[in-house]
Structure 1
């Protein structure tokens, strides 16, 4: 909690000491930074300490409370709030005090509850003013960065900000990107972090680890935060930029796990040159996946390192697609693991990774479409199509890609089952239509371009009966129908009509299934 600083001024020592003991200053949001027993000493103390609040007696020797307020108001310093205390309920003094913008007028003896309420009210007022001031500073910092990057900042504005950021001759300044990764609506935990919260925590940790008194200038670049890092902020780190980045990364890890990446541009000697540092920081972004373990990229350290734009070898990609369509998940996983190691070890540029993964995704979608599948049913497709619009670590990208492959392979297996089921249904319909002809498992397999052994196994698995048994049931069922409908048709004629070339064999098969001969079946009907 931010504590406001107060100074006590009263020529009576017991009043000051009494106030110190009477009030729970910390609970009210204040700490006492000093005390004085006369107006002259108080004036010097206030100039030195720059407090947020001055509590002063109105009647003191040499310089009284009102004169002290007048003197302070003439000084070129941040004006503190004032609370006047007096042993007299003097309306005239109160009127004068209020004209000087005094927060409150308190009559001795001081009531603890009343005075606590006054301090709490002032604390809320100061907090609101501070938040407004910080927001103004943020907006001014944003405008400064935008104008510097575009090369539109006026010299007078640059000079003003160099003073405010404590950039002296011989100092330098760098542009740094802070990026929060792996926080999105389709992550495993489902808890996406807003850019606003990330920015707030970033600013808070910057202030904490640097003890910064100057403004923190930040700018939101779509999906990452940019900031100015002058030499003054690096003093607690012996002026070492990388030491500062490590400390900042570790501080942010407490809030966001290992999702924060930092990219520093080259250090420039003038604020007006920050555009060059900004461009260098953007170049550093391209080395993200190469330095994923460290999660810090300093442009001056990597600027000579090569980046590669490599395509998958056609033969390897063809092999990948074959293994995918054959549903060889282990082989596909092995190949994907190899690719992602190469992305880092062979220094792939992010654009090359994007191009190669898109090639795989498009190949898989083509297979699904050829099987009359509906690709939009894949829950993992959309995240993978849009991954480059989000901040993803290589590990998270690997997880997403693997999840997409696994879901796609499961879908292809389902489509294949549906196709097989549809195919066997067609074969069954064909048998039902042509059972009276001279058909066999081999002849049907030839018609439907399928292995006869596989067809026999598939038929049994699908319908729970062997092909020959099913064919016999159809033929005997039709024979029974003919026997019921006509008493004059001969047995050999029925045999021919239902697909038997040999009447004796027909009788044998009929009896095998019905436990009686065709003639016995007919006589039974009579």
Structure 2
């Protein structure tokens, strides 16, 4: 479903759908036409753009989930690589998030992954695929209710950074066990919470990202689909967390002073930070160290500082009842307006919008 004819044509002719067990059964150029096609054809998989006339992709997904209870599963297609849209689409139950322009190899890999997952579901004799995940007013428990969950999430993150697969497995299993009574048997709320944990892991992988990795060292870190069966959630979470741990371990090898700078920022982000002072402590000339950091990390020193502070702020907004101004001061901003501007730069939403889900 797309409002650009060339994109529709490309999806139809460039993608080998039948190779992975799919067949194109219909096309639409706007959201309302797409809704009619879904009602008529009952497709197993719907690929929809975010930006469409009449009804956008997220509204289409939400409508089908809540109103039609359709068995269709969704993949979101968009030229907008922004965290809030990806998080919202995944919360609504999207299987994946594809970016334009179309990358044929990436889409084929994604279809192969979906096909394998569905084959497992069929093998386990699940009568029907889940219709999707209904949106929640907030996708995480209140701080009072979720303290033990957040403690276990922290333990999982620390194990990922340390590369300890045994502790990763223990933390993932314990997190999923604690989740059940916390969400009072609401499977959809549990799925929403774990989707945010997976996104935090994805962000952690991006935080450690360095440019110039050899192709053999690169790894598929696309977000996995949470199955409908709650007893398989821990396996999915463990597997993805181990992938992120391996990715971070490879990134640390041979990074030298750039990694030292990044580690210092992540340990002291709430303090005033100047590259000149860090360079002196590492016995480097500041201009050279700044260029080296940007070359290896793919981001300037100042942008890395702001991104690290925003990451810390996200955790506080999600887990505490602190006011936005207090969060700003806690992560190193004396000016709440500067904090709001930087948060919006990295998250495409204000701190208040993020806090309110």
Fold agreement, TM-score > 0.5: no
Bigger strand fraction? 1
Q: Indicate the TM-score class for this superposition, using the shorter chain for normalisation.
A: 0.3 to 0.5
Structure with max Cα Rg: 1
TM-score w.r.t. the length of structure 1 is 0.24
TM-score w.r.t. the length of structure 2 is 0.34
